[in-house]
A and B are shown apart, each in its own frame.
Chain A
């Protein structure tokens, strides 16, 4: 799948850790890039995904011919406004801490009757095939636009997930000896020319969290937080990170909590 991503007429630009999105501060070599970054931020094709997600969400689909309008993202069935701002959170119906995508997956399986493995198989789009999940996640997240990220640690399981996420952020492993912190723990760092957000700085963390899901120019599609983590994991030379796995949800809990206060503006625009 990864191989197909190369844009034929363009350089085969592969994904990397460096596409989280950073605040404006740029080092010396960044200057030649600024004009392009500003121009690309001006128009966001990701808006097309919001439209498609809106349609998919309200349409009767799947073996059960049901819409997702009864899906509960934590504010009650069908309540979308502000729901994303509180995720991940503990859900009594599953007994687990869940993020946006794990809730969507659950509803697509339980309400609409889709096959879980099939949804996971198409969770990320590629140049040959769109992903409903990417559109749906973008739509639901965008219903919290203008609101502040407000992840809470009220439930013991939420506190566990947060602390496990923190543990994993600093956990170094694999052939590169990387942990998240290897690239995101210091100020003013770049991988090649791409600025790396320093995730120990709240402002930079908020800038990251405000804009995922994001339209990624290198991928010509919207990518979700699950994809962002999968992609980092890939670059760290680790095996394919399981979709809505504990590692992914723990890291999302940690990162979103650290980004609390970020004004959500989804989809963002990233390299």
Chain B
């Protein structure tokens, strides 16, 4: 796994050439993203390390973060998770599935008129708490929700 990620970083260098060729300007953002990709966080196997990597160790729990997701998911391969923040100045939202082999699932920076909202379908290996981590005004807040994963159908 580590090897693959290193090779990604090498490829990221190659991508700058594509940007220079004048492909969509957006690629610059994606390439820049590659350079700033939270490697420590995404490589972390321990929940605590993943949380630390996004500055969420010891973060305040907030009732102003709403996680919408099923109580019971029929299929761990597609678990829909929606996060809405009512915290003023929300800049980013992360999703962390505590018991996943690599708990940090996504970090999304929001700007230029984006609502303090994110939605993505994720994989979960087992029943677990899922955390939403919100950065707002230099502070970090969290909320969590348990999602039960069941073996569907006839097993």
Contacts and interface: CB of A to CB of B under 8 A. Distances in A.
Given A9-B100, A40-B78, A192 B152 contact: yes
27 contacts: A10-B77, A10-B123, A10-B124, A11-B77, A11-B149, A13-B75, A13-B76, A13-B152, A14-B155, A33-B74, A35-B69, A35-B70, A36-B70, A36-B74, A36-B80, A39-B70, A40-B80, A191-B154, A192-B150, A192-B155, A193-B72, A193-B150, A217-B74, A220-B77, A235-B153, A271-B74, A271-B153
B70 A33 contact: yes
A258 interface: no
Interface of A: 7, 9-11, 13-19, 32-37, 39-40, 191-194, 217-218, 220, 235, 271
B151 interface: yes
Interface string B55-92: 00000000000001111111111111010000000000
B74 A9 contact: no
B53 interface: no
Given A33-B74, A35-B70, A194-B74, A14 B153 contact: yes
Interface in B129-155: 148-155
A246 to B, nearest CB: 26
A18 B101 CA distance: 29
A11 B126 contact: yes
A7 B151 contact: no
B68 A35 contact: yes
Contacts of B126: 11
Nearest to A216: B75
A194 B76 CA distance: 15
B125 interface: yes
B61 to A, nearest CB: 22
B52 to A, nearest CB: 22
Most buried by A among B68, B69, B77, B126: B77
A218 B151 CA distance: 10
